[in-house]
Structure 1
Amino acid sequence: MIRFPSGAGVKLALLGPAMAAIAGIGLLSIMDAVIKHASASHSTPQIAAMRYVCGTLIAFAVFRALRTPWPSRATLRPHMWRSVVVAATALSFFYALAVLPLAVVLALSFTAPIFIALFAALLLGERPDRTIIFALVLGFAGVLVVLWHEVEGAGAGNAWGLAAALTSAVTYALSMVALKSRAAHDPLPTIVLLQNLLPAFIIVPLAVPSWTAPAPSELGTFLIIGALGTGGHLLMASAYKRADASRLGVFEYTAFIWAVGIGFFAFAEVPSMSTLAGAALIVGGALMASRRPSSAPEPDVEIGP
């Protein structure tokens, strides 16, 4: 079991890396649905700014409650670089959510595990074995079974949205690999606080030109978005602290399972047979990746300038 600093051993340590990653992806998937709802009334930069400002408030409360030591200058530098990647991911993904169907955005975002495995090999020296590679292919095949027609239908629609979705997949993968390089060194509350605070400094100025005053009820929505994002990132940081990035990447496919559940319970959407068949492949790939034991040595490399 991991020893968390300053009594931060909470119940995160009781979750295995796979379960922590799946739960974290679930919270972030719910957050995506709420963001898509909010995008009807506000610009992408404003939504991203409010998401990280509210996330900072909640992350800071967790940081202080756990009495985590203040980060040093040496800690801040790599997180400052990573915050640029996180901000780019948020802006591109939120824009894609605003202009494309959720299914299409999810389909393109599921290319992220491929990039995670690639970046982990190039930057961290991880060498995913054949089982992981096959699991990635199996999961991606499941995505294609479910979402092939949606992606094909949107191809001629919004080129900028498609480009944004693909960009977010690449930058998200890079941010997760960078997270792996820091998770071995920094306390989880510090990682999540800086992951909210630093991107907020980058995005808030970009939101000013298109800012519209949110209604009181919308402030509650933004707080919910911030809470979901903070909780999801705490779980993801916990998972990446204890397992290889390439091994955890395959669990990104479970976001589709969360999306099916959200659609069914929130919007009474009944999944089709192709949806169920694709979901079976996705789950099969995730289970295959989780069955093999993994050691997660602390990486000796630092990602970023």
Structure 2
Amino acid sequence: MNPSVVGAALAVLFTGMIAAADGITKLVAGNYEAPQLYALAAALVALMAAGASGVSRGETLRIRSVKPMILRTVLTVVAAIAFFQAFRHLPFADVFLFIGLIPLIAAALSGPILGETPRPVAWLALSIGAGGVIFLMPGGISGAQAGHLWALVAALSGAVSMLLARVIAKVERAPLAQVFWPNLGLALVMALALPFVWKPMGVMDGIWIVTYAGFLFGARYVSAEAMRFLPAYVAMPVMNVQFVWMVGIGIYAFGEIPSFGTVMGVMLVIASGLYLVAEETIARGAAQDV
């Protein structure tokens, strides 16, 4: 099967899993501080990755790309903290605007970091995708404040973290290691705050946390694989299909009916992602024919 198609399918699968995790977060996080949710979930994800590596053939948690992995782990922690602060100070819509800008940030940085500078026509698709995300938040950003700085830090660190996943994937196939080490780092850092924010959890909330960790583990595993098959500037806009899942979950679980602007934004995001996959597939086919 064409690598671009495989990568796109994995990216879409990632969006479904991460949107499900976001839905669970919305369901249970109102009763707990974010460090408690992050510490427990990240620890569970790290344990899942360690367990999977123990039963898989030939895949361990050892990795040759030590420096990129350390930096990726640090940036994962920074992104989690920054997103927590951003959600604390801003409405969801404002933060999601910055999430939608991550592909453009990745595209701008993919040249110096990966040597994968997008072709000129890809910039048009990336801009359309960003415009689609803006459609999803018709109110826009209400004004500059500390939360917007946190959101920008989160977007920058998140984009570079995913680019580093591509750096590692180009050298070695180690998706479980890419899941384990960042989550172990996140669990350890968030655990430092647990004595100050811990609240007893009911059985049902515990089940939701385990389910959340399962979706998060699957999402981060397939995202590492997707970055192996697709250039970062293609994979990340496809991952904006996450907004489609979020609309569906909003309707089904929370009774939130999307506005016309939301529907238009979703259509633009999907069109942008599909165009980039098609453009990359055609380019690879032409390169093979030469």
TM-score tier, shorter chain, comes to 0.7 to 0.9
Q: Match for 1:93 among 75, 83, 86?
A: 83
Q: Match for 2:253 among 252, 262, 266?
A: 266
Aligned to 1:167: 153
Q: Does the 8 Å CA contact 1:110/1:252 hold for their aligned counterparts?
A: no
Aligned to 2:229: 242
Could you tell me which amino acid in structure 2 is paired with residue 240 of structure 1? M
- The alpha-carbon distance between structure 1 residues 186 and 204, as it changes in their structure 2 partners (threshold 3 A), is farther
Q: Does the 8 Å CA contact 2:97/2:137 hold for their aligned counterparts?
A: yes
Aligned to 1:26: 16
- The alpha-carbon distance between structure 1 residues 79 and 225, as it changes in their structure 2 partners (threshold 3 A), is same
Aligned to 1:201: 188
Q: State the distance in 2 between where 1:14 and 1:226 align.
A: 28
Q: Match for 2:141 among 131, 138, 152?
A: 152
Unpaired segments of 5 or more residues in structure 2? Answer: 285-290
Deviations 1:205-252 (A, max 9, x none): 233322223222222121112111110011111110111111212113
Could you tell me which amino acid in structure 2 is paired with residue 218 of structure 1? D
Q: Match for 1:140 among 112, 118, 130?
A: 130
Aligned-pair distance for 1:103?
Answer: 2.7
Aligned-pair distance for 1:192?
Answer: 1.6
Q: State the distance in 2 between where 1:235 and 1:264 align.
A: 26
Aligned to 2:101: 111
Unpaired segments of 5 or more residues in structure 1? Answer: 3-12, 296-305
Matched, 1:277 2:267: no
Aligned to 1:8: none
Aligned-pair distance for 1:162?
Answer: 2.8
| Higher share in helix | 2
Could you tell me which amino acid in structure 2 is paired with residue 138 of structure 1? I
Q: How many residues align?
A: 281
Q: Does the 8 Å CA contact 1:46/1:208 hold for their aligned counterparts?
A: no
Q: Does the 8 Å CA contact 1:28/1:229 hold for their aligned counterparts?
A: yes
Could you tell me which amino acid in structure 1 is paired with residue 164 of structure 2? A
Q: State the distance in 2 between where 1:68 and 1:46 align.
A: 34
Matched, 1:233 2:220: yes
Aligned to 2:287: none
Q: State the distance in 2 between where 1:220 and 1:99 align.
A: 28
Could you tell me which amino acid in structure 2 is paired with residue 126 of structure 1? E
Q: State the distance in 1 between where 2:48 and 2:63 align.
A: 23
Superposed, 1:175-190 pairs within 5 Å as 175-184=161-170, 185-190=172-177
Deviations 1:34-68 (A, max 9, x none): 22333312222222211201211222222222144
Q: State the distance in 1 between where 2:45 and 2:131 align.
A: 34
State the TM-score, normalizing by the size of structure 2: 0.88
Which 10-residue stretch deviates more, 253-262 or 269-278? 269-278
Q: State the distance in 2 between where 1:219 and 1:203 align.
A: 18
Deviations 1:5-30 (A, max 9, x none): xxxxxxxx997101101110221122
State the TM-score, normalizing by the size of structure 1: 0.84
Superposed, 1:20-99 pairs within 5 Å as 20-72=10-62, 74-99=64-89
Aligned-pair distance for 1:114?
Answer: 0.9
